[in-house]
Structure 1
Amino acid sequence: MVSTVNSASRPGYGQLLRTPRALSFVLPGFAARQPFAMLTMSIVLLVQHTTGSFGTAGAVAAVAGVSMALFAPQNGKLADRFGQSAVLVPGVLVNAASVIALAALALADAPLWALFAAAVPVGISVPQVGPMVRARWAAVLDKPEQQPLTQTAAAFESVTDELTFVVGPVLATALCTWVHPGAGLATQAVLTLAGGLLFAAQRDTQPKPHGALAGHARAEHVSAFSIAGVRVLAVALLGIGSVFGGMQVALTAFAEEAGQPGVNGLLYGIFAGGNMLAGIACGAIAWKVGPRRRLLVGYTVLALAASTLWTVHSVALFAVVGLLMGMSIAPALITGFTLVEALVPATARTEAFTLLTGAVALGQAAAVTLAGRLADAHGASAGFLVPMAGTVLALLTLVALRSRLVPASKGRTVARGVGHRVPVAVD
């Protein structure tokens, strides 16, 4: 099916950023999401330093990741209902304090149960800034004539996410390796507090809470998780999370095996840089194929690329493979978030975005734990089997349940805010 956006009307990033009020939340949003990209790597490096075990480090990071994944949809639901700032301000305060507590316990050689206990509030309180920014784009672009900008906004957000994942792991590695093992988490706490409060202060661009939406104050709320297509997308993003988690731990082990322990941040940056470059390209292309088909094709390429990681044994070759691997993620990730626009009503959009972000975190947490144990027992190559398994299983699910990714309305329209509907191409 041909997309409703053609080459003549395809807007670029410049036009997107000229949208009124856009920069007021884009810039602080970028600063506020940076700490999330540092968290897993900072935990892994600190706990591995204090315990000597990748498996233990991965388990502690996994507890934080699972806690985040379980609470993220509730975080989004609360933001939809009460407003983003009301949820974000207490969240960043709790997160900063929890991160400092976890770092202090790790440096004090606290028992493993204490590290697990400290990791729970760290994960629960992770600020869901990325989903909140996406929800703000959806609110700002909530007019029929701005429909072509939604795909550009999805691509822009993917690029922004990947830019943070280029900077975050490299910064965390540099701080933990060259400054102090706990410096990564300390910096993460400071950035969370400063960036989160600055973003929360931009109240005029946040989506209106349910009670403030005219005509929706007494409307029945639809949970994002009750939508079959969202559950299918969550499985897809679980697979993408397995790539992020498996790569972070297995890359650390790979760099140590190669005798270059500081190169893991650089290699992960190359991987994330490939994702960012592909994201830029995805946002610039005038697609003639709908997002559902693009998701299936992109995910197939991702699974094939992930299946080669365990065969790589040199730093130089991994830089090349990692770049290609990163470039295969962006098309799948962008189209997954784009489909949310077609599947989910406006009143559940932040919840949907946080549900998908939580799925990434859950996949990452499981991968960090499994890859860490495999790397401890059998070396880095075994750790790279985790991204392969995660993406292949998710691809099989996508293929089997692809019909669930079509909006339920017969006219293939989806609500865009209040009072009007616009056509959405999905094939």
Structure 2
Amino acid sequence: MLSLAVIAAAFASTAVGLNNGVGKLPKMGYNTFNNFGCSYDHFSAYAQVEAMVKHGLVEAGYNTILIDDCYSLKNRSAEGKLVADPEKFPYGIKNFTDSVKALGVSASAYSNAGYKTCAGHPGSYGYEKQDLETFAEWGFDYLKYDNCYIPFDNVTQENVYGRYERMANAIAEFAEETNSTPFQHSLCEWGWQQPSTWASRFGQSWRITGDIKPWWSTLAAIIDAASFTYWSTNFYGRIDMDILEVGNTGQGTPPGNLTYDEAKSHFTAWTLLKSPLFLSTDLTNVTEETIEILTNKDLLKINQDPNVGESISPFRWGINPDYTSNVTHPAQYWSGNSSYGVVFMVLNTLDTEADMFFNLTESWAIRAGRQYSVYDLWSHTDNGTAIRNISLTLPPHGVSALLLNDDGPEPEGIEPYCGVWYQCSFPNGTYYSN
């Protein structure tokens, strides 16, 4: 295990996101890739949008569809323009985007900072401005920008920073020249620590790992990465933990095998860490449990909090020493502020049932000497009053998501006088000892 205390301390301040008028809150929508891979067309993608409406997902806030790779022919036109695949989009991409907009859903584009996209279609390196013009003609307003087929160093004479800066500059120039709203820019360059130090200058979200898979081991590794990058999340800029695999049984990845408790943990972490929420489940063949998870209004309202942009953060790692990376057993105890109260997320990263425990004042957002009402963000019930601490029993890979609100001074006469008594002192300077 690698100790990262020094790295974490170096990035203790919160980054300021790119405030260019778009992307104040995390984007929510549908991404075609994990469900379909390249095997989609106008009709199959439109069916997913219809299902989004049917299942209440659009009403819940999932309001865009991202056409992720494979939408164009593998060669540009003689004028250098992207050409929509006529077999996939027989009526043209603009017809598709107009059709989904009639259902209350916008359309989002995909491209790449290299010569080709990851599936081998034309990338935007050297064509940034021209491709933005095409995306605008087609009716897109959001851009996921990937990182395959990178030109040689002696060609670009730029690092990854420079290649993503090219597209960011093109977005700003295009918006100014056309007097239009800038494209929302989602950087997909698969970084771990680095993107959180620079990507907020260029976009509204940035990937922190490689592609997600519908396995608990992958989710745990992403949560581990998030425990060292959460600090960069705020309004207009946030870490991107990749696509929601809740209920996934599609062709883009192997069939999903998450348990119900793992799916809840997955959704809880993504929402409370303020990640963009792009699902990629076949919504034409989906369970009620999946829809129940994806439309959890209590968690979604924290993800979309209009007043607090920061995500939750770990206050204790639990199994591992604090600030220690472990892709199998990431940080277990998390907390943060919201417009609705103090948020707690407790994860059981073990393969067996586990008893979990924390002192309230381990969270920076809790006031000492107060008692707190407890609301369960999954059962949607009031669960009494917490004084000093909370104990939980969680299933394997299970989660608890709680919302606490001040409920007055704690009862008098409770000893020890401090919830955590190390360095706690009487007025005469004598330490309290338990």
TM-score, normalized by length of structure 1? 0.29
Q: Which has the higher strand share?
A: 2
Greater CA radius of gyration, 1 or 2?
2
TM-score by length of 2: 0.28
Q: Which has the higher contact order (CA 8 A, sep 6+)?
A: 1
